[in-house]
Chain A
Amino acid sequence: MNLSVMIGPLKLRNPVITASGTSGYGEELSQYFDLSLLGAITMKGISLKPMEGNPPPRLWETPCGLLNSIGLQNVGLERFLREKLPFVRRFALPVIANILGNSLDEYMELAESLDGEVEAIELNISCPNVKKGGIFFGTDRSAVAELVSAVKKTLKKSLLITKLSPQADIKEFSKIAEDSGSDAISLINTIAGMAVDIETRRPVFKNIIAGLSGPAIKPIALRMVWEAVSTVKIPVIGIGGIMTAEDALEFLITGATAIEAGTANFIDPLSSIKIIDGIKQYMNRNGISDIRQIIGSIRL
């Protein structure tokens, strides 16, 4: 049975990747299962300088969903390269570095330093949880085009994945990413959301707006993946509310070449492994020998 997929020239053992910000730098998950069973692992978003993140509260549960306002707490580029990367490198699997800058220059410096150190770089142009950067790039046409082509020119070895914001028009922005040289696109990041404490009449989060993830966003994510695969030829990685193999299969059938599981890791650290097993069972049940017979097999 073949589960391997290609993201451009990069081969993944299977199409299941853990999403940025939901699997740390691999240290915790590696205590619970062999990381090399995964298709790939995405590192927590990395910025040039360490970031402290937002003050608590950072989490709020909603029906079938989770609002978070972590604020990209991370160790920064230098410590990532020195401490975190060598650890995850001990496991035989592709590593994806998710990067976030406040300016084109910062993105460029991150990309230059990480080129060749990781198999792929995922450009985070879509995080709703930091005031500067992120979201503005993510919805500004010429800024995205400029950023993607500049980073692409910098990269000699690592693959470039552009992570799209669900706040932007997907058809338009997936085309911009493709035309600017991105090797693949991933979507979606969390959807901007909000919650109010009715007793104090204050927003739950100090930043007011937070990012919604989990099963609640799955239908929207799936629609956006559909729009992306109908628009571009480069591989599309589907993200959003994938908790089970059935969820993952919906994305693969729709045309995603691979998927990332995020919030699912919180509920069960073994969920990615269970998703892989569930995909195998589905293939067995349906007499499918190659995952490529599933990808994009949607019947219209």
Chain B
Amino acid sequence: MNLSISFKAEIVENTAITPDIFKLTLRPLDSFSEPLPGQFFMLSVSESHDPLLKRPFSIFNFKDRELQFLYRIRGRGTRLLSEKKQGQRISLTGPFGKSYPQPDKSTQEVWIVTGGLGIASLNFMINRLTGEGQRLKVLYGARTGPELRILEDIRVKEILIATEDGTEGFTGTVLDLFNSYSMNLQPSSLIYACGPQAVLSFIDQKAQERGIKAYLSLEERMACGFGVCLGCVIKTKEGYKRVCKEGPVFREGEVIW
């Protein structure tokens, strides 16, 4: 048991980027396995049995052995997490799930299609691809301009922005943005997408229509995160699959929406 799947970490920072979006940096105190882009950890939000379950969060970044997460306050668990202070300790399990596959040699251009907190899952991959000199374009949607602050740490040359209220960039959703650019997609393009189900099912459909490969990262309620409870399944062409184990990254045409 050298690399433990279950470990403790100390909070280095847990700061609000917008009133309900937080950045959390953790320094693991025990040995752990290095995560890959697209994988996630389960984080405890309480030391007691209430709330009972850990919450899944994608790895936003992994640098200098520190784990970084980006999260939005959604309910009780994420609220409790947001109240935690620097120096406090929390328990984690992970890393879990399949990572985003690397583009293959025939890939000319990578499109990252996401919005809101979906960037939390894709940023680590973006950093890796950029480091490898991969050409990539990011299409990003937010509700409103101030939420774009979460992009501060994201380093890409080409990023196209849409806001629903039109305060910045293109007016509309990331899907509207995608539609207005999609004629530039080539069969040799590759799409990575993460976001709400409506975004993913739309991208899935477009990718299939155009014969383009796409990797879609899904979310489902989870109890264990590592495949034993069978609670996080989604319907696929091959029957139910576990989002935490066979996913969270799925191929185009795989999921039955």
Q: A residues within 8 Å of B by Cβ?
A: 21-24, 27-29, 31-33, 44, 52-53, 55-61, 63-66, 68, 70, 73, 214-215, 243, 263, 265-270
1/0 contact string of B219-255 vs chain A (CB within 8 Å): 0111111111111111100011000010000000000
**Contact indicator A64/B221 (Cβ below 8 Å):** no
Q: Is the CB of A58 within 8 A of B230?
A: yes
B250 to chain A, nearest CB (A): 15
In the bound complex, residues from chain A placing their C-beta under 8 Å from that of B123 are: none
Q: What is the minimal beta-carbon distance from B246 to any residue of chain A, in angstroms?
A: 12
CB <8 Å contact, A266 and B5: no
Is B208 part of the binding interface, using a Cβ–Cβ cutoff of 8 Å? Answer: no
Q: Tell me the complex Cα distance, A270–B32, Å.
A: 14
Question: Which of B226, B233, B245 touches A56 (beta carbons < 8 Å)?
Answer: B233
Residues on the B chain within 8 Å of A73, using CB? 230, 233, 240
Contact, CB under 8 Å: B228 / A265: yes
CB distance from B218 to the nearest CB of A (A): 12
- Among B1, B221, B223, B230, point to the contact of A33 (Cβ < 8 A): B1
In the complex, B4 has a CB within 8 A of chain A: yes
> Which stretch (B48-56, B57-65, B103-111, B168-176) binds chain A?
B48-56
Evaluate contact between B52 and A215: CB separation under 8 angstroms.
yes
Contact of B227 with A28 in the complex, beta carbons under 8 Å: yes
Per the bound structure, the CA–CA distance linking A23 and B228 in Å amounts to 5
B53 near A267 with CB under 8 A, answer: yes
User: C-beta contact mask, B1-38 vs A, less than 8 Å → 1, else 0?
Assistant: 10011100000000000000000000000000000000
Known: A59-B223, A66-B52. A24 touches B228 (CB 8 A): yes
Supplied contacts A23-B228, A58-B232, 19 more A-B pairs, CB within 8 Å? A21-B230, A28-B228, A44-B230, A53-B230, A53-B240, A61-B51, A63-B50, A64-B49, A66-B52, A66-B53, A70-B230, A215-B52, A243-B49, A267-B54, A267-B93, A269-B6, A269-B224, A270-B1, A270-B6
Looking at the assembled complex, report how far the CB atom of A19 sits from the nearest CB atom of chain B, in whole angstroms.
11
Within the assembled complex, what's the spacing in Å between the Cα atoms of A265 and B230?
13
- Give the tally of cross-chain contacts (CB within 8 A): 96
Bound: A215/B48 CA distance, A: 11
What is the size, in residues, of chain B's interface with A at 8 Å between Cβ atoms? 32
Q: Contact at B229–A266, with CB atoms within 8 Å?
A: yes
For B144, the chain A residues whose CB sits under 8 A away are none
Give A32's nearest chain B residue, CB to CB: B5
Q: Chain A: which residue is nearest B244 at the CB level?
A: A28
Q: List 5 A-B contacts (CB under 8 A).
A: A32-B226, A58-B233, A61-B52, A70-B231, A265-B228
- Contact with A29, one of B225, B228, B231 (Cβ below 8 angstroms): B228
Distance A22 CA – B93 CA, assembled complex (angstroms): 16
* Residue in A closest to B5 when the chains form the complex, CB atoms: A32
Docked complex Cα distance between A52 and B51 (Å) = 29
Which B residues touch A56, using CB under 8 A? 220-221, 233-234
A266, B223: Cβ atoms closer than 8 Å: yes
Give the shortest distance, in Å, between B102 (CB) and chain A (any CB): 23
- Tell me if B49 and A215 are in contact (CB < 8 A): yes
Residue in B closest to A62 when the chains form the complex, CB atoms: B52
Q: Are A64 and B230 in contact (CB under 8 A)?
A: no
Residues of B close to A57: CB separation below 8 A:
221
**When chains A and B are docked, how far (Å) is the Cα of A77 from the Cα of B60?**
42
Q: How far is it, in angstroms, between the C-alpha of A60 and the C-alpha of B228 when the chains are bound?
A: 16
> What separation, in Å, do the CA atoms of A44 and B44 have in the docked complex?
26
On chain B, the residues within 8 Å of A270 by CB distance are 1, 4-6
**Residues of the B chain whose Cβ atoms lie less than 8 Å from the Cβ of A59:** 221-223, 229, 231-232
User: In the complex, which residues of chain A have a beta carbon less than 8 angstroms from the beta carbon of B49?
Assistant: 64, 214-215, 243
Closest residue of chain B to A55, judged by CB? B235
Q: Of the candidates A29, A31, A65, A265, which one forms a contact with B52 in the assembled complex, judged by CB atoms under 8 Å apart?
A: A65
In the assembled complex, the Cα of A27 lies from the Cα of B44 at a distance in Å of 24
